[in-house]
Amino acid sequence: MASLPLFKFVALFVRHISKYGGNLIKTKAHDHPKFRVYAAKYGQRMHQLNMRMAVTLLKNSTAEKQVKENSEELSSLKPPNDSGHGNLSNMRNVSKEKSLPKEVPPSVWKRKFRPLPEAKAVELFANVVGDSFVLLVAGSLVFYEYLRTKGKPDISTELKNKLDELEQRESDLEKINKRTLEKVEALEVAIVNLEKNTSKK
């Protein structure tokens, strides 16, 4: 029983120390030149990914379709010219516009966003690495505790087994008690019969 509070105390201590380790990683990222280059590169990638996900979440495709349809309707409602020749040329222009492939907006996932300044990119990457370190330590402690508790036998199973044993023992003792009572009754009957036989003589 004493090991559980001790383990919790040690786990709390390790998690607290890991926060200092994560903060140390964050501060040293700005000073170390090789890590700074690496952090700037991957910080920019993280920024691009964050921006793409944010734009995808904020993007309303139904509203874009409605705007596109409305603009097509407005462009098709051009006033006709009085001369038949001009009307024919308008029809040709409209048919040419329809036959030309429309410019498809680029996918959000292929779009390049404005990069972050190097210091902010390094800070972003360092924050991710530092927080990942803290989460890794906390996750490993949780996993260790899970394995530790899984290795112990289940107390409820032990208690159930002991209860079953006690019930079995109680039923055995009841059977023995019944047999003993039957023997005592048989002996009493035999004694009474013996006394009757001796008193008759």
The residue range of the domain holding 161 is: 153-200
Give the closest residue to 116 by CA, choosing from 50, 47, 55: 47
Query: How far is Cα 131 from Cα 42, in angstroms, rounded to an integer?
Result: 16
Q: What percent of the chain has pLDDT over 70?
A: 73
Is residue 23 situated within a structural domain? yes
- Residue 97 within any structural domain of the chain: no
Question: What local confidence, expressed as pLDDT, does residue 100 receive?
Answer: 46
Residue 171 confidence (pLDDT): 93
pLDDT confidence tier of residue 104, bands split at 50, 70 and 90: low
- Cα 22 to Cα 29: distance, rounded to the nearest angstrom: 11
Q: Which of 12-21, 144-153, 191-200 has the highest mean pLDDT?
A: 191-200
pLDDT for res 93: 57
Task: Evaluate whether residue 175 is within a structural domain.
Answer: yes
Percent of the chain at pLDDT > 90 equals: 11
Q: What's the one-letter identity of residue 117? A: P
**DSSP assignment, residue 59?**
-
Q: Is 33 left (phi over 0), alpha (psi -120 to 50) or beta?
A: alpha
Cα distance between residue 132 and residue 188, in whole Å: 84
Q: Rounded to whole angstroms, how far apart are CA atoms 88 and 95? A: 11
- Report which of residues 179 and 98 the model is more confident about: 179
* Count: domains in the chain: 2
Does the structure show a pLDDT above 90 at 177?
yes
The average confidence (pLDDT) of the chain is 77
For residue 75, the number of C-alpha atoms closer than 13 Å in the C-beta half-sphere is 12
In a domain, 101, yes or no: no
Q: Answer yes or no: do 53 and 1 share one domain.
A: yes
pLDDT (tens digit, 9 = 90+) per residue, 74-98? 666 555 554 445 555 555 555 555 5
Contacts of 131 by beta carbon, 8 Å cutoff, 6+ apart: 22
| Contact status, residue 40 vs residue 118, Cβ threshold 8 Å | yes
- Overall average pLDDT of the 164-180 stretch: 93
Same domain, yes or no: 66 and 17: yes
User: In this structure, are 2 and 51 located in the same domain?
Assistant: yes
What would the mean pLDDT of 40-51 be, rounded to a whole number?
88
Q: 77: helix, coil or strand?
A: coil
Question: Do 14 and 38 share a domain, yes or no?
Answer: yes
Same domain, residue pair 126 and 147: yes
| Same domain (yes/no): 68, 157 | no
Confidence bin at 18 (pLDDT 50/70/90): confident
Question: Is 86 part of a structural domain of the chain?
Answer: no
Q: What is the mean pLDDT of residues 129-136?
A: 82
- In 3D, which of 111, 107, 115, 106 has the Cα closest to residue 47? 115
Are residues 112 and 192 located together in one domain of the fold?
A: no
Query: Minimum mean pLDDT among 30-44, 65-79, 138-152, 172-186: which range?
Result: 65-79
> Which residue reads 């979440």 in tokens?
57
pLDDT of residue 20: 81
Q: Does residue 116 share a domain with residue 183?
A: no
Spatial neighbors of 65 by CB under 8 A, at least 6 apart, are none
**What is the predicted pLDDT for the residue at 172?**
93
Residue 19 lies in a domain: yes
- pLDDT for 78: 53
Domain membership flag for residue 96? no
